[in-house]
Amino acid sequence: MKHFFLFLFSISGVLFHSCNFNQGSSLPEVKLIPYKAGAKWGYIDFKGAIIINPQFNYAEPFYEGLAEFTSPEGKVGFVNEEGQYIINPIYVHASRFSEGLAPVVGENEAPKYIDAKGEVKFSVANAEYASIFHEGLAAVRINDKWGYIDKTGQIKINPQFDDAGPFKDGLARFTKKVNENEYLQGYINQKGDIIIQPIFKDANEFFDGLARVSDGKNYGFISKEGKYIINPQFAYASDFHNGRAAFKQGNSWGYIDKNGKYIVNPMFSNAGQAYNSTLFLVQNTDGKYGYVDDEGRYVINAQFEQATPFLGTYAFFYSGEKWGIVDAKGKYAVNPQFDDVNIGGVFNYSNNSVESEYFDVAVISSKVLENASLNSFYSLSAKSTLNDVIAAHPEVNSRLAAYRSAVSIYPRTVLNKYCSLNYVQFGFRDQVKENIPQYQSVQRYDPYKGGYYTAQNFVGYSYQLNYSTPLTFIDYSIDLIGKGSGKALSATKGIVEGMKTQMNLNLDQEGYEDRVNTEERGVFLLSNTFLSSLVNYDKDNIHIHTQFKSESQEAMMDTTKQM
């Protein structure tokens, strides 16, 4: 769920000139505003009356009669304007309702879309991200590429873009990667046809018939045909609303009309988007916020530490570390008393995506057990020798050391998007390098031996690989990454189930009966006629110790309990 916090610095980015936070020239009807009291969030009206008591860990604005909230347990649900739970807080992520549907994600689930009753309409099983609907289509990311689905969940525009924006006025911006350091943006229609070629460094939605674009140096505005209506000339600019757009020249902000004519000369430190046709939020040179008309004259003097655009005839202002409400004449409608308010989402026309939580345990299990069988693990068995290990893993050869009966390798290999191979250790019955004494023939004199004689003088040892020493155990360690991070218990259970099926191993918790496996750490012991495996885990790591039964089961237990 995307949050829009209204603190001193974030509100400037959200409400002043961010391309993603606007709703168009006509804002949605807003009756209730999320507010914060202490650590909890509730809802107030524009008279400051508490309509829904503060009880949520977070709260979003209302859309289509429903608002997202986060429960004390950290789960997301939806309430109506009477504060009634319409959709219980059961989701890990959720976004707002748009066109009758909202994308949500449950624990270890892929994105799905629900209606206003909470009924699941369809899932997008292979989506990494799923967005809200705009003009009948929703952007989704599948295999790192963005495309669009319709309201039945069917792909309408194949995933092919490096980024994709919401449809507005029949067009959506898309991003194309040119090289490692360069991306360009253009526009497609609802058939996926490129209408405006990707030639812009930055592109945004169409408002009042014009889209704000950048050539990499300056911002200008184009028509739906891709022609410049206002040539690139501004250091930055906002979108058009009510025929006005804020622009930046040098370090100052002013306003232009749709012909590019200066309506208000650049004189402010910051200037908000023209959501209201008569009151524009500006910041003066001493950092205070106030409101001007479309000729740049102050209607409400710059006096606030922070402020929001007007929603109808009311706006929020920040003073003395509290938020209050001011009317269009500058009169306090509600004195500063709220710890925080959240109206950023009211101005939001972005994609509002939710991220998949789906974690495919089978993908990890199948990779770890890729070359395992009834009597083997990692392609090796009790019949394997040092020679077999070197043949399968040549890098072992360079890590063999004298007086050692084990050797480790550190592949640091990404196995899949959920896990990487950290290290593998191979244990052998005997030392992997045999010591061979070396002697040198020398002449010595001893009268008792009849004079000179040839003797063997010890000069040291040479080493010879013990290719025939049998393999006795394998230690195999993986790190969990991406969506696998923090989910070691689920991944371990999947591996254990795979070992039961694929290797015919039986769970044998002798010595571990009282051990409680938690999300943080745990252990499973399995065995069959040919081998035993101890699988232990912590938050982001899984370690598998497999002992081939050329050793006794007691030796296995003694070894593993010390781990």
Give pLDDT tens digits along the chain (563 positions): 333 323 223 333 334 443 333 334 456 678 999 999 999 999 999 999 999 999 999 999 999 999 999 999 999 999 999 999 999 999 999 999 999 999 999 988 999 999 999 999 999 999 999 999 999 999 999 999 999 999 999 999 999 999 999 999 999 999 999 998 899 999 999 999 999 999 999 999 999 999 999 999 999 999 999 999 999 999 999 999 999 999 999 999 999 999 999 999 999 999 999 888 889 999 999 999 999 998 899 999 999 999 999 988 999 999 999 999 999 999 999 999 999 999 887 776 777 899 999 988 998 999 999 999 999 999 999 999 999 999 999 999 888 887 789 999 999 899 988 999 999 999 999 888 877 788 888 888 888 878 888 888 887 777 788 899 999 999 999 999 988 998 899 999 999 999 999 999 998 866 665 677 888 899 999 999 999 999 999 989 999 999 998 644 444 444 444 44
Dist. CA 420–CA 522, nearest whole Å: 20
Tokens 């008591």 map to which residue? 53
Dist. CA 177–CA 179, nearest whole Å: 6
* Phi-psi group of 374: left, alpha or beta (phi > 0 → left; psi -120 to 50 → alpha; rest → beta): alpha
Tokens 């089961």 map to which residue? 553
Q: At 69, list the tokens.
A: 């909230």
Dist. CA 197–CA 382, nearest whole Å: 63
Name every residue whose Cβ is closer than 8 Å to that of residue 504 and which is 6 or more positions away in sequence: 374, 528
Dist. CA 559–CA 475, nearest whole Å: 12
Cβ 8 vs Cβ 323: under 8 Å: no
Q: What phi, psi does 188 have (nearest 5°)? A: -120, 160
Tokens 């999300």 map to which residue? 519
The pLDDT score that the predictor gives to residue 407 is 94
Q: Chain-centre distance of CA 341, in angstroms?
A: 26
C-beta neighbour count of 461 within 10 angstroms:
13
Q: At 359, list the tokens.
A: 């974690």
At the topology level, CATH places domain 8-355 in: Methanol Dehydrogenase; Chain A (2.140.10)
Q: At 232, list the tokens.
A: 């690139």
DSSP state of 428: E
Kind and range of the H or E element at 9? helix 8-15
The pLDDT score that the predictor gives to residue 460 is 78
Query: Among candidates 399, 471, 401, 374, which has minimal Cα distance to 430?
Result: 471
Tokens 């497999």 map to which residue? 546
* Phi-psi group of 492: left, alpha or beta (phi > 0 → left; psi -120 to 50 → alpha; rest → beta): alpha
Dist. CA 132–CA 352, nearest whole Å: 6
Q: At 196, list the tokens.
A: 């405006």
The pLDDT score that the predictor gives to residue 444 is 86
Dist. CA 556–CA 475, nearest whole Å: 13
Kind and range of the H or E element at 478? strand 471-480
Name every residue whose Cβ is closer than 8 Å to that of residue 101 and which is 6 or more positions away in sequence: 113, 114, 115, 121, 132, 133, 138, 151
Q: At 126, list the tokens.
A: 């292979």
Specify the pTM.
Answer: 0.78
The pLDDT score that the predictor gives to residue 511 is 60
Region(s) of the chain under CATH 2.140.10: 8-355
The pLDDT score that the predictor gives to residue 340 is 96
